[in-house]
Amino acid sequence: MKRILATTLATAAALAVGATAVTAQSAKGFYKGKTVEIYIGYGLGGTYGKSATIMGEHLRPRIGADSVIVKSMPGAGGLKMTNYYANVAKRDGTAIILPPDTLAITQMLKPKKAKYDSRDFRWLGAAVRSNSLSAVRADSGVKAWKDLKSKAVPFACSGLGSQTCQVPALINGLLGTKIKIVRGYKGSKKMLLAMEQGEAAGINLTWLAFKTNRQAWFKSGFAVPVMQMGPTPDPELAGVPNLKDLVAAEDRPIVNFMSSLIAIGRSLAVHKDVPKERTAFLKSAFVDMAKDPAFVADMKKRKLQVTYTSAEDVHKVVDESVGMSADIIKRTNQILFGSAS
């Protein structure tokens, strides 16, 4: 009896493996000769554009596509592109989204403007994550974050849906600083240029974006890092205070909610209506890519550090953010936008 049971289980396992292989082969056959599009809500020159381009290059041979192109659709801090992807883009697996890291936050804070539900995305994984960093020009007179309480320093940012606007507003609301938020810059490249040319005296980006584009600022003394935000301090930013450690205990849930953008990072996803076998195939290709030394090396050449996060972990963070209590959402909205919704 035991021998029969063992044989039956072995046969079932073999059939399951065979079925998986057939499904993967079928999915790969679907992509043969096709063009896959990766949608981003920012310009091609920043970490979104660079990450999408390199991921596309490494995913293409893994999925058997003829080509992978990056579609840049800037506007409202990535909100314009996300709304388009959720409602217009193809749902056959040839359209992939690299969403803004504030995806779930914006949905909860601005439900009337967010024409999507973050839970409708099926995650492939995240390749990059990085704490946010607020930095100012050294000649602004700001040496530490407390100086922002007395100086109205202009910070360049993109749109309401971006951490470049939301984090400075959060700092103002929780710590009583006087950061002047100047919206309308399309992409980190233009924000960095604005700070370089003196149009702005500060910006909030990911630490990775600074490292990729302007690390020399900090070595030369042109810029001063004044505050980071993340679930835990970044070891590379030793001595730079973390917002979470500066706020009152009752405000920490708000910072935790806003810090969800760190875990989402630079991730890829598809719509829930994409056939399951194609989603599984893309996810498998993403995992294989993220662990490939050649991919890590190519990212490093562009000054991007791979910090892989599984699809399941990204999904969990999104679910937690979308499930945040009404009280936290109300208080966060009041802090960021001066209203409850």
Predicted confidence (pLDDT) per residue in 87-119, tens digit = 999 999 999 999 999 999 999 999 999 999 999
Which range among 4-13, 70-79, 113-122, 144-153 shows the weakest confidence by mean pLDDT?
Answer: 4-13
User: Does the structure show a pLDDT above 50 at 235?
Assistant: yes
DSSP H helices, 123-265, are 163-175, 188-197, 207-220, 243-246, 252-258, 260-264
Give the rounded distance of the alpha carbon of 234 from its chain centre.
17
Residue 130: half-sphere exposure toward Cβ, Cα within 13 Å: 25
Task: Supply the pLDDT for residue 77.
Answer: 87
Share of the chain above pLDDT 90, in %: 83
Could you tell me the pLDDT band of residue 238, with boundaries at 50, 70 and 90? Answer: very high
Task: Supply the pLDDT for residue 18.
Answer: 47
Determine the Cα–Cα distance for residues 213 and 192; give it in Å rounded to an integer.
8
User: Does the structure show a pLDDT above 60 at 266?
Assistant: yes
Please give the domain boundaries of the chain with CATH numbers for all domains: 2-129+265-330 (3.40.190.150), 132-260 (3.40.190.10)
* pLDDT: which is higher, 2 or 215: 215
Residues in the chain: 341
**pLDDT tens per residue, range 19-72:** 445 566 788 899 999 999 999 999 998 899 999 999 999 999 999 999 999 999
Cβ pair 40, 73 in contact under 8 A = yes
Could you tell me the pLDDT band of residue 11, with boundaries at 50, 70 and 90? Answer: low
Task: Supply the pLDDT for residue 134.
Answer: 98
The residues pairing with 71 across neighbouring beta strands, listed in sequence order, are 39
**pLDDT tens per residue, range 273-331:** 999 999 999 999 999 999 999 999 999 999 899 999 999 999 999 999 999 999 999 99
Angle at 99 between CA 95 and CA 101, to 5 degrees: 165
Residues ≥6 apart with Cβ < 8 Å to 232? 242
